[in-house]
Amino acid sequence: MERGLYFSSTKSCYRVFILFIALLLLSQALLLGNQLLYQPTEAGKLTGFVVTRSTSLIKRPASHWHNNKEEAWDFENSKFYVGRILFLGEPGTSMTITNLGPLPTSGKDYDVNKFYWTQMTGGGSDWTEYYIVLRPKGFTHEETQDDYLNKNTVIQETGGSITLERGAGPSTELVAVGEQGFDGKGDGGTYNGSNGFKYKYQYKAIFIDVTIIPPNNRNWTRLGTRPQYGFYESNLNFTVPGDSLSLALQAEEGSGNDPPPNIACQFDVDSYYSDPVPYETLRNHHYSVATALEIGALSYASPTCQAAVTLASNAAGTEANFAFKCETSHETIPHRLVYHCTTGREGECDGPIVVTNNRKSFYTFHDPTGPPSPIEGTLGPGNYLEAKLKLYLDPTSEYPCSGKYTSTIYVILERYQ
């Protein structure tokens, strides 16, 4: 299933499976433990980058930055600094960066594997290549920064990755006496009940400073000279197993006009189950709003755009008659879908809501400061939505025939003013 896409109005769906086999034990729910978040900083940004060339760029090509101790985020007064990508998850996790486009349509020395700023008007005929500099750092349980690698990693091609060798998670995750753990500074040892090595994860979070820098002397534009005046865009996707994060970036070259619309938003749909769930589990334990089975989560964030999310049983978004349908017969098992948000429009997060034809659209909440970050500060002002999806069966329904049943739930995101 596609997740973490950047868009303004699109459709996504995921499937929950139910399987009838006698004496089948409950399948293990796949809880997506790894998490990525974007945190703007005072110097970081998603828009307002400058597409330009300078003497300092010539002196500091990609080869200069890779494995170098020099900080890249404040290079040329943070002109190229995006901000922080926050990671929470297991040690040894690989994070991959992919170019989502738009790609150039033509030009001198154009390489489809590179990252590009592409002009927003003109059909991609003018472009500028760039590379990405990453600098992972730990945020300790004592809330201090640990530049544990003390060097940069340069990503020059789409699909490139960096291994986050150390883990991060909340300070509430502890180890038992006799187990290996970490203290507040991130040092490891065996916990004896009093020596401080009580934390399961080495850090409270890992943040990766992300900097995007144009090349020094090649692949500058289709003409091999300075880029044309105007606005440029680039969309990136950061992915770890279980989660992804998309960023919509915008730059300009010598333009004093208003930029074309480029909606910056992040929308995730997480499905918790990858294996079939036995019918008896749902019938015996999940037959009311209070006991509904949690099957997934929705997450939306945008600094500028409000949005509405519609949950529907058809692609048009007009029906909310949810049912499991047998793959080999016409038999169905009706079920109810439950929406339960922690962040959303006032009045929609007071408790779980059963999705019906009359109530199937839900709205974002504008937060002037933003939700708290796992590390210092917040995730920035903007429009947010965080919600869980659950389902339950009618306990009075008759037993269906054996078979494999699926239910398709359409999650439709639309911008609104």
CA gap 299, 342 in Å, rounded: 10
Are 180 and 103 within 8 A, CB to CB? no
So what's the pLDDT on residue 225? 59
Query: Would you call 329 helix, strand, or coil by DSSP?
Result: coil
Q: What is the DSSP letter of 179?
A: S
Domains of the chain: 10-31+272-416 (2.60.40), 35-168+203-260 (2.60.40)
Mean pLDDT by 10 residues, the chain (417 residues): 28 36 24 73 83 67 88 88 92 93 72 84 72 95 93 94 94 93 94 93 95 68 62 88 82 69 62 75 86 86 82 90 85 91 90 94 88 79 88 82 84 78
Q: Is 281 helix (H, G, I), strand (E, B) or coil?
A: helix
Residue pair 400/334 in contact by the 8 Å Cβ criterion = no
33-77 residue pLDDT tens: 688 888 878 888 888 887 766 656 666 788 888 999 999 998 888
